[in-house]
Structure 1
């Protein structure tokens, strides 16, 4: 009986160790044709922080729209589509294409701009 418990405990310990070997950081998501630095500039020029909380933007409130912290860890875009670059780009260009009535205004963002903004979003971590 004790032997089974010992073997089970060792097995669980090895499993826990192996599960932790992947690291704590989420996989970095690259956006084809997107430059995070340009995306950050666009986030400033479109004044996204006036509605969204964005780490590193002291003037951002997040009172009118969801915060953008920890973006890479999100499962969905606007609660509707999987959080993948192509869905983020589509949502930025035409919000109603992903989630009609989401409250996100159509700002006339081009595909090129959306790629840069998406690249930036996938670099956002937690509160600063």
Structure 2
């Protein structure tokens, strides 16, 4: 990359200038790297989950924040939302192909970090 962290059109492609505030890619990056976005993507990499399963898997997330995060990731095309007709309706969340692609390096990052931390003491 060139000095000053500026991407040229050839490097970034003709569509996006990621360092400009009005670039649509920045919104997706913001959602992926948000406090909870990373955890939702990592959690859904292994299998599809219902809302409460996802909430229980990610300790510390409120229902409100989970709903907001899922809404943003669905809108960005990273997460798919499937509603099964039942009473009450059953909603399952999973990663789209794009979400899998983005989740892979996040999972790798998480694994690299945890491998480098000192072993946890029992207790």
Same fold judged by TM-score > 0.5?
A: no
Judging by fraction of residues, say which structure has more helix: 2
Judging by fraction of residues, say which structure has more strand: 2
TM-score normalised by the shorter chain: which range applies? Answer: under 0.3
The higher-RCO structure (CA 8 Å, 6+ apart) is 1
Q: TM-score, normalised by structure 1?
A: 0.25
Q: TM-score, normalised by structure 2?
A: 0.26
